């Protein structure tokens, strides 16, 4: 019997797609709440774009589970002794989906386009030019050594886009952003914004035997509850970027569904509490440290996060080779917290209250946001701190408040994006205190030694020396406590039993799904 699956693509249109084994032997139905603004990862960050972009476009490199670069569009590469030149030797059989050969000119165009347009300004900042001595050689010239460049050549960060399509006019307004042409394993077919998008196998992909799937259909759900129910019912085959711990637990116990908790380590999402360090009393490190000692991390990790989230003890995700555990751990100690507040001159009044603070959180997060701040409301009262929770009706409201420094303390969720130069520095360097820009240094934290360390680590090519620089950086910021680190985000991926090749590498679903296949 042929197996048919139906799923609604929006009540307004009443559209229905049908996928059958007769039409597509290897058809994957994916559910997501992420709505791509467009599909061009060269000018747009975030997992909503990265997940489809990494299927549509290829990049110079991919990465192994052990954080080692492996060939993709670049079959080999060399870095000069002075670290100022990186030469990519490209495959000679890659073509774009319209049949146009991919050459070094496209690589050069893509790199310079990303440098000029991508929101991660530090990612390619040292790149001065890209030379193209022949069609299969791209020579990247750097102002100074840039060890972050290798990770920046990953699929999620450096899609190679065709110059003949994206090279005319304002790239931000190019219609190909919503009708993309790449050289990746899947071709774009259609997008009904906010409802679904569809990709089909690139039969001319430059790697023989891949991809395994014939088509990918991603249905966009308006809320997580319906998405999880669709996975339970078998209406979809895969659910990436699952973060709600109750949802993870629920699907992990569902017959016919498996849950992978590994993958996406390079994205490095950390849930934390951030202070406005220019606002009293949070301008005093002792106050910030006191709150750190007052939080029972064991309770937070086991009860609020259900045991699904790993501890976070610093600014670099613990899965990174550059992370260290040799930092202050802020072990739960209410008496130490009270003593620090006494030292800060915040004695309790007649009612036992030392001060009142307002806490914000990103709207939509249950365990990571709402449940966390409600826990803090009762927990911090034990050391004489009254907590007032301020909700935001939507993300733009929260972002405006935080980026304009209209806050005391906020829960936040920030990504490492592989290398600290790309996703970590932005939070701590004093030069990135930029009013109105969310996920910059919104703490207004300034430490001259931290600035020195991050600048030195950004150009240090010796891996051991670089790790030592980042170790000192981590020790300083954890001690200064402009941020209290709570947990790694438990990004999980639910999928139908029997599926193979699940994307559980360091970039998780934001990587090419070359080996994903459906059960026979």
Please say whether the beta carbons of 179 and 154 come within 8 A: no
Residue 23 confidence (pLDDT): 47
Strands 269-275 and 409-415 come out as antiparallel
In order, the DSSP letters of 295-341 are: S-HHHIIIIISTT-S-B--SSS-TTSTT--S-S------HHHHHHHH
Outline where 118-271 has alpha helix (H). Answer: 149-152, 163-166, 224-233, 245-252
Please say whether the beta carbons of 321 and 359 come within 8 A: no
Q: Span 393-420, mean pLDDT?
A: 95
> Under the phi-then-psi rule, with left for phi > 0, alpha for psi from -120 to 50, and beta for the rest, what region is 103?
beta
pLDDT digits (tens, 9 = 90+) for 198-234: 999 999 999 999 999 999 999 999 989 999 999 999 9
DSSP secondary structure code for residue 349 in this structure: -
Residue 420 confidence (pLDDT): 97
pLDDT digits (tens, 9 = 90+) for 269-282: 999 999 999 999 99
The model carries a pTM of 0.88
Per-residue pLDDT at 139 exceeds 60:
yes
Q: Span 467-477, mean pLDDT?
A: 98
Please say whether the beta carbons of 185 and 52 come within 8 A: no
Residue 1 confidence (pLDDT): 28
In terms of pLDDT, which residue wins out, 193 or 499?
499
- 260 beta partners: 493
How far lies 308's CA from each of 290, 322, 368, 398, in Å? 26, 23, 12, 26
pLDDT band at residue 17 using 50, 70 and 90 as cut-offs: very low
CB hemisphere CA count around 158 (13 angstroms): 27
Domains, the chain, ordered by start:
4-263+492-496 (3.40.190.10), 269-488 (3.10.105.10)
Question: How long a stretch of residues is the chain?
Answer: 520
Per-residue pLDDT at 86 exceeds 80:
yes
Residue 43 confidence (pLDDT): 95
Residue 25 confidence (pLDDT): 82
Rounded CA gap, 139 and 125, in Å? 16
Instruction: Give the whole-number percent of the chain exceeding pLDDT 90.
Output: 88
pLDDT band at residue 243 using 50, 70 and 90 as cut-offs: confident
SS3 of residue 243 by DSSP: coil
Residue 331 confidence (pLDDT): 97
Residue 464 confidence (pLDDT): 96
pLDDT digits (tens, 9 = 90+) for 323-343: 999 999 999 999 999 999 999
């Amino acid at each position: 019997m042929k197996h048919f699956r139906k799923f609604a693509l929006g009540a307004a249109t009443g559209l229905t797609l049908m996928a059958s084994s007769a039409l597509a032997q290897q058809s994957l139905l994916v559910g997501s709440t992420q709505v791509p603004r467009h599909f061009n990862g060269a000018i747009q960050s975030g997992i909503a774009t990265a997940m489809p972009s990494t299927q549509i476009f290829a990049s110079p490199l991919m990465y192994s589970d052990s954080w080692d670069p492996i060939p993709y569009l670049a079959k080999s590469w060399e870095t000069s002794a002075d670290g100022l030149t990186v030469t990519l030797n490209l495959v000679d059989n890659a073509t774009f989906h319209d049949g146009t050969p991919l050459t070094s000119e496209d690589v050069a165009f893509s790199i310079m386009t990303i440098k000029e347009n991508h929101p991660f300004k530090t990612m390619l900042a040292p790149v001065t030019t890209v030379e193209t001595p022949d069609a299969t050689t791209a020579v990247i010239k750097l102002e100074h050594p840039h060890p972050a460049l290798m990770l920046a050549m990953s699929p999620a960060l450096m899609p190679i886009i065709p110059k003949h399509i994206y090279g005319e006019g304002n790239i931000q307004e190019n219609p190909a952003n919503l009708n993309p042409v790449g050289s990746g394993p899947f071709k774009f077919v259609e997008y009904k914004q906010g409802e679904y998008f569809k990709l089909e196998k690139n039969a001319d992909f430059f790697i023989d035997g891949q991809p395994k799937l014939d088509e990918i259909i991603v249905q966009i759900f308006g809320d997580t509850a319906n998405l999880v129910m669709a996975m339970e019912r078998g209406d979809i085959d895969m659910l990436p970027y699952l973060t709600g711990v109750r949802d993870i637990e629920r699907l992990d116990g569902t017959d016919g569904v498996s849950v992978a908790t590994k993958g996406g380590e390079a994205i490095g999402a950390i849930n934390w509490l951030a202070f406005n360090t220019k606002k009293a009393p949070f301008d005093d490190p002792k106050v910030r440290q006191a709150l750190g000692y007052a939080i029972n991390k064991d309770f937070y990790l086991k009860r609020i996060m259900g045991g699904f989230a790993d501890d976070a003890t610093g600014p670099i995700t613990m899965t990174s080779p550059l992370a260290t555990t040799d930092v202050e751990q802020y072990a739960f100690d209410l008496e130490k917290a009270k003593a620090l507040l006494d030292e800060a001159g915040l004695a309790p009044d007649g009612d036992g209250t030392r001060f009142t603070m307002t806490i914000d959180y990103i709207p939509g997060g249950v365990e990571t946001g709402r449940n966390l701040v409600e826990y803090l409301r009762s927990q911090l009262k034990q050391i004489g701190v009254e907590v007032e929770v301020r909700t935001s009706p939507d993300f733009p409201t929260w972002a405006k408040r935080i980026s304009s420094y209209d806050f005391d303390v906020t829960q936040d969720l920030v990504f490492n994006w592989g290398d600290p130069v790309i996703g970590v520095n932005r939070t701590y360097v004093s030069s990135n205190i930029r009013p109105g820009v969310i996920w910059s240094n919104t703490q207004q934290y300034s430490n001259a030694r931290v600035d020195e360390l991050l600048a030195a680590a950004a150009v240090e090519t010796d891996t051991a020396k670089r790790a030592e620089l980042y170790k000192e950086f981590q020790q300083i910021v954890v001690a200064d406590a402009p941020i209290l680190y709570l947990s790694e985000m438990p990004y999980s991926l639910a999928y139908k039993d029997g599926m193979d090749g699940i994307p559980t590498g360091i970039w998780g679903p934001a990587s090419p799904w070359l080996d994903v296949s459906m059960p026979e």
